[in-house]
Copies of this chain bind each other. A is one copy, B any other.
């Protein structure tokens, strides 16, 4: 319609040089009029690039993951890429769906994993396909990981309580061995234990509680300990959502927070601020953006992302749920 060849149209539309201004102008006008947009599938077939990045997560509906996905999608789109989603949630909490070749092959240019512990087979698959991969949260062997320092973060939380005079401190967020695919909260539990010991405090085994990391399970799981005698004067939860569950149990049992029980979590969940929950804040969206730029960088340069982990800072946010231990002024 513009009276030129398809090759010229291609060059004009993509802004390559070696096209006369008049021709370009004409092509642009006709394209506009016809609502012409080049077919991305045809473009992909010749370029070998899809401009799509796979975002792989064990859950999608939980706050942490949804926040990551949102941040990643925006960063990608700002650079003319798209996010395709893979929710690996399975019927049972202790297993997840595998990542397969036909999710990735010729479908995406790169992969971002959200706190998923990849199996060796999966890592081999991604390697074989030559896809750049950046992990968030749970590291993937040999790949760059954007994460927080779980150990230091937990230490900050525990030391805050110790600084307030607490000596009887419970913990919630232990996870059974078999759910290794979700996250390795070992670091957090280890840090709890170490920090307690370093301060000369006992870790009471019955006060270290398991949970599937939901508020619900934390509420149920903490009932026995909080209604027992003796009971902890403070609880540290490995996530804010669990902290909220514990806080609710405390309320039900008639324990005042923080007078009778101090509670601190990790994350700075959406509701933590309104609820006045003390926490150690991590910037989840920033982790998503960083991971997205790293894969974008790898796609641009052809080099895999630098292999060093990117460790993002966390910081203590003291709100109303923590206070001096009973008897300490």
Complex interface: stretch among A2-10, A155-163, A196-204, A266-274: A266-274
User: Smallest distance from the beta carbon of A129 to chain B beta carbons, Å?
Assistant: 9
Please report the C-alpha to C-alpha distance between residue A37 and residue B41 in the assembled complex, in whole angstroms.
Answer: 17
- Give chain B residues whose Cβ lies under 8 Å from the Cβ of A73: 60, 85-87
A66 with B74, Cβ < 8 A, contacts A41-B44, A244-B271, A248-B274 known: no
Closest B residue to A60 by beta carbon equals: B70
A102 at interface, CB cutoff 8 A: yes
Contact between chains at B37 and A101 (CB < 8 Å): yes
Interface string of A53-71 (1 = CB under 8 A from B): 0000001111101110110
In the complex formed, the residue of B with least CB distance to A241 is B271
A217 to chain B, nearest CB (A): 9
A105 part of interface (Cβ distance < 8 Å): yes
> Which residue of B70, B248, B274 contacts A245 across the interface (Cβ within 8 Å)?
B274
Residues of B within 8 A of A264 (CB): none
B273–A248 CB distance below 8 A: no
Interchain CB contact (< 8 A) of A274 among B37, B39, B215: B215
Q: Is A41 within 8 A of B106, CB to CB?
A: yes
Q: Can you name the residue of chain B whose Cβ is closest to the Cβ of A49?
A: B41
Binary CB contact string for chain A from 275 to 311 against chain B (1 if under 8 A, 0 otherwise):
1100000000000000000000000000000000000
Question: In the complex, what residues of B have CB within 8 A of residue A214's CB?
Answer: 270
Of residues 95 to 145 in A, which have CB atoms within 8 Å of B's CB atoms?
A: 101-102, 105-107, 128
- Chain B proximity of A309: nearest CB distance (Å): 24
Least CB distance, A319 to chain B, in whole angstroms? 12
Contact between A69 and B60, CB atoms less than 8 A apart: yes
Most buried by B among A37, A52, A65: A37
**Do A84 and B215 form a contact, CB below 8 Å, given A70-B89, A89-B70, A245-B274?**
no
If the complex has contacts A89-B70, A274-B244, are A102 and B61 also in contact, measured as CB distance less than 8 A?
no
Residues on A close to B: CB < 8 A? 35, 37, 39-42, 44-45, 50, 52, 59-63, 65-67, 69-70, 73-74, 77, 82-87, 89, 101-102, 105-107, 128, 214-216, 219, 241, 244-245, 248, 270-271, 273-276
Apart from A40-B102, A85-B85, what 11 extra A-B contacts exist at CB < 8 Å? A37-B101, A39-B106, A41-B50, A41-B107, A52-B84, A61-B66, A62-B66, A216-B274, A219-B274, A241-B271, A245-B274
